[in-house]
Amino acid sequence: MTLSGPAAPPSARSVLARDKLMRTAERLYAERGFAGVSVRQISEAAGQRNNSAVQYHFESRDGLIRTILSHHTALVEKHRITMVEALRGQDTVSLEDHYGCLILPNVETYIEAGTPAWCARFFAQALVEPALRDYVVREHLDTPSLGLLGEIGAIRRDDIRPDLLARHGTMVRQLSVHAFAELEYDLANGRVDPARAEESWHTLGRDLITALCGLTTALLGPL
Amino acid sequence: MTLSGPAAPPSARSVLARDKLMRTAERLYAERGFAGVSVRQISEAAGQRNNSAVQYHFESRDGLIRTILSHHTALVEKHRITMVEALRGQDTVSLEDHYGCLILPNVETYIEAGTPAWCARFFAQALVEPALRDYVVREHLDTPSLGLLGEIGAIRRDDIRPDLLARHGTMVRQLSVHAFAELEYDLANGRVDPARAEESWHTLGRDLITALCGLTTALLGPL
């Protein structure tokens, strides 16, 4: 073992440095891919004189990436748990409501992130990165809100063949994660007018809910 | 400029080395990601004594990756052009036929590749890699067969709002590319029994066609 994290409560300066490293890494990875950026370049771009800053604050590149993912998941979860809790009182949950809970919390988070942002592309890259994909699915898509949605939502686990349910879940995840990344990319590159970012996110949200309802009914039958 | 490719027709030995480098790179990139493998490691794993073998045969890492993508596209195109040509004689093309032409040529190619294989994961990673994504979409998904399918297939370009058509196209591409990569990953890691690989590819093909028909009808309306 080499350096470990600070034992005392982190100083304000340390918190700031950590935050700067996370935002810098997210941006550089989103723009250049995991292959295009070294840990040293992240430290330098974040204004850290010490080249082992990433190691000091996050132990490793993967530790840094996981911390960024956790931060993103927490932002989405804050919106989603409120929406899913609100479904509890309803007698029946429609497929539209179900996918509203899945998609709209991301839409809100991406609108709050502003333009340009990097989190959607970062997330999409992590989901196809061999060393990270299982982690992303397990730790970051298995949140309390999604657990609750599985219990009270429109798609009941007991009625559907497990292998078909797993395939369906994978399709829903991949379609939404990569569609969000695509719009973020288009906004960052001016292919979609940044002045219309908020409207574009809302439209994508509606299109995704429509597409997912159609895909689900076709694949799983009427629910 | 440094080294350039050979001017004379390549020797048998050169062709073999080139092929070995391509197969090795595809495997290593699929397993470890673009960030996890250096060009030098590819040369070594391919048994090349010369560390600049990749540079000599492909000019650069990106040249190597593009050549692997072209090879994969050519294999799929061979199946697809035959299927799309066969639709020419039909009065009407159903949405099932349309997506059959899109999905089944990939299914055939992945079955031919055997188990374990690496091409689906390699392709999915290239599609989210910032430096490659536009190239993948432009050069490798705009093939003659897909152009012809756009003319005679079930989804006619003139009837649909261009922005909605573009969004739909992106969704179809992302859903299929990442679903193929997922099954290849599951087969390589024993989560799906390799002895049932062929059956699994056929099932995925059918599920994808079903899902895409539902998604398309929901998003674009009855066609």
- Answer whether B222's CB lies under 8 Å from A219's CB: no
What is the DSSP secondary structure assignment for residue A89, as one 8-state letter?
A: T
Largest CA distance in chain B: 59
Smallest Cβ–Cβ distance between A215 and the set B130, B181, B211 belongs to B211
Q: How much is the mean pLDDT over chain A?
A: 92
Q: What is the mean pLDDT of residues B16-38?
A: 95
Whole-angstrom distance, CA of residue A223 vs CA of residue A216: 9
Q: List residues of B whose CB lies inside 8 A of any A CB.
A: 30-36, 121, 124-125, 128-131, 133, 164, 167, 170-171, 174-175, 178-179, 181-182, 185, 204, 207, 210-219
Dihedral angle of Cα A158, B179, A202, A74, to the nearest 10 degrees: 70
Q: What's the pLDDT score for residue A2?
A: 47
- Answer whether A145's CB lies under 8 Å from A80's CB: yes
Whole-angstrom distance, CA of residue B209 vs CA of residue B215: 10
- Answer whether A98's CB lies under 8 Å from A155's CB: yes
Contact list, A217 vs chain B (CB under 8 Å)? 214, 218
Q: What is the mean pLDDT of residues A123-131?
A: 94
What is the DSSP secondary structure assignment for residue A48, as one 8-state letter?
A: -
pLDDT tens digit sequence for B199-222:
999 999 999 999 999 999 999 988
pLDDT tens digit sequence for B143-174:
999 999 988 999 877 778 889 999 999 999 99
Which of the residue ranges A75-84, A104-113, B145-154, B170-179 would you say has the lowest mean pLDDT? B145-154
| More confident site: A91 or A185 | A185
Which residues have a Cβ under 8 Å from the Cβ of A71 and sit 6 or more positions away? A22
Contact list, B170 vs chain A (CB under 8 Å)? 179, 182
Residue B3 banded pLDDT, cuts 50, 70, 90: low
Q: Which amino acid makes up residue A94? A: S
Are A124 and B129 in contact (CB < 8 Å)? Answer: no
Number of H helices, E strands in chain A: 10, 0
Q: What's the pLDDT score for residue A50?
A: 86
Q: Please name the residue of chain B whose CA is at the shortest distance from the CA of residue A180.
A: B171
Q: How much is the mean pLDDT over chain B?
A: 92
Q: How is residue B208 written in tokens?
A: 């994808």
Are B171 and A211 in contact (CB < 8 Å)? Answer: yes
Whole-angstrom distance, CA of residue B156 vs CA of residue A101: 33
Q: What's the pLDDT score for residue B89?
A: 83
pLDDT tens digit sequence for A58-74:
999 999 999 999 999 99
Q: What's the pLDDT score for residue B110?
A: 97
Residue B99 banded pLDDT, cuts 50, 70, 90: very high
Q: What's the pLDDT score for residue B58?
A: 96
Share of chain B above pLDDT 70, in %: 96
Q: What's the pLDDT score for residue A1?
A: 43
- Answer whether B140's CB lies under 8 Å from B73's CB: yes
Q: What is the mean pLDDT of residues B77-102?
A: 94
pLDDT at B2 over 60: no
If you count them, how many residues does chain B have? Answer: 223
Q: What's the pLDDT score for residue A7?
A: 65
If you count them, how many residues does chain A have? Answer: 223
Contact list, B217 vs chain A (CB under 8 Å)? 214, 218
Residue B4 banded pLDDT, cuts 50, 70, 90: low
Q: What is the mean pLDDT of residues A9-22?
A: 91
Q: What's the pLDDT score for residue B181?
A: 97
Share of chain A above pLDDT 70, in %: 96
Are B185 and A133 in contact (CB < 8 Å)? Answer: yes
Q: What's the pLDDT score for residue A100?
A: 97
Q: Is A16 helix (H, G, I), strand (E, B) or coil?
A: helix
Q: What's the pLDDT score for residue A56?
A: 94
Residue A191 banded pLDDT, cuts 50, 70, 90: very high
H/E run at residue A71 = helix A61-87
Query: What was the ipTM of the complex prediction?
Result: 0.90
How far is the alpha carbon of A8 from chain B, nearest alpha carbon, in Å? 34
Residue B1 banded pLDDT, cuts 50, 70, 90: very low
